[in-house]
Amino acid sequence: MAQGNASLKRIGLNQTNARIVLVTAAAAFLVMFFLVASYALFGQLRYQNKVIGVKKTAVKQLKMNLEARDSLVRSYEAFVSTPQNLIGGQPSGGGPQDGSNAKLVLDALPSKYDFPALTTSLEQLALEEQLRIQSITGTDDEVTQGSAQASGTPAPVEMPFEFSVAGDYNKVQSLIAKLEQSIRPIQVQTTKISGDQNDLTLTVNAKTFYQPEKTLNIATKVVK
C-alpha cells in the first residue's frame, strides 16, 4: 500500500513538473514574442516618425516655393508692364529700340547658340547706317552647343565673330557707338580701319555671349 502511494506521489510530482515546464516554456515564448514584436513596432514607429519629419520638411519647402513663385510672377508683371522699356523704346512698337523688357532681356542674352540670328543683327546695324557689308564670319557651332548638358547653374558661353563694313567716316563712327550701346553684350577684341574719310573699311574682331536655359532638377528621395 505504501509503495502504491509513493508511486502516485511520483506520478503527481512528474505531472506538476511537466506543467511547470510547459508554463515556463509558454511564458518564455510569450516574452520573446512580445520582445520581438515590440522591437519591430518600435522600428516601424521610428521609421514613420522619420517619414513624417521628411514630409513636414517637404511641405515647408513647397510653401516657400509657392511664395517665391507668386513673388516672381508679381515682379515679372511689373517688369514687363512699364510704359517705356529699359532703353527708352515702346513695349508694343516695332522700331530698333522697341519691345517689351522681357524681349530685350532675351535678346541681350539668348538661351540658344544661334549664329544666324547674330549675323542678322549685325547686318541690320550696318544697313541702318547705310554701310556696305564686306563680310561676316564666325563659327556656327549650334550642333555642338545644342548637345551640351543642361545645368542648374548655367554660365555664359562665348560666341566669337568678325565682320567688316565700308562707308564714310561718320557712319562708321555711328556703328561703333551702336556696338558700345548694344543691349547684347559685345566685347570688341580688335579693330582695324583702313581707307580715307569718305570710304573707310572697318574690320572688327569681337565676341558676344549666350547663356543656356536653367534646368529645374526635381528628384525623389527614399526614406530609409
Residue 167: beta bridge partners?
A: 200
- Residue 191 contacts residue 19 (beta carbons within 8 Å): no
pLDDT of residue 135: 93
Is the model's pLDDT at 98 over the cut of 90? no
What value, to the nearest 5°, has the Cα angle with vertex 56 and ends 54 and 58?
Answer: 70
Sequence-ordered alpha helix ranges (H) in the chain: 2-80, 101-108, 115-128, 142-146, 169-181
pLDDT of residue 207: 92
Dump pLDDT digits (tens) for 169-190: 999 999 988 888 788 888 899 9
Average pLDDT over residues 110-128: 86
Residue 57 pLDDT class (50, 70, 90 cuts): confident
Of the candidates 192, 195, 143, the residue with the CA atom closest to the CA atom of residue 169 = 195
- Residue 181 contacts residue 120 (beta carbons within 8 Å): no
Full-model pTM: 0.59
Specify the range with the lowest mean pLDDT, choosing from 34-48, 50-64, 109-123, 187-201: 34-48
Is the model's pLDDT at 84 over the cut of 70? yes
Is the model's pLDDT at 99 over the cut of 70? yes
Arithmetic mean of pLDDT over the chain: 81
Is the model's pLDDT at 32 over the cut of 90? no
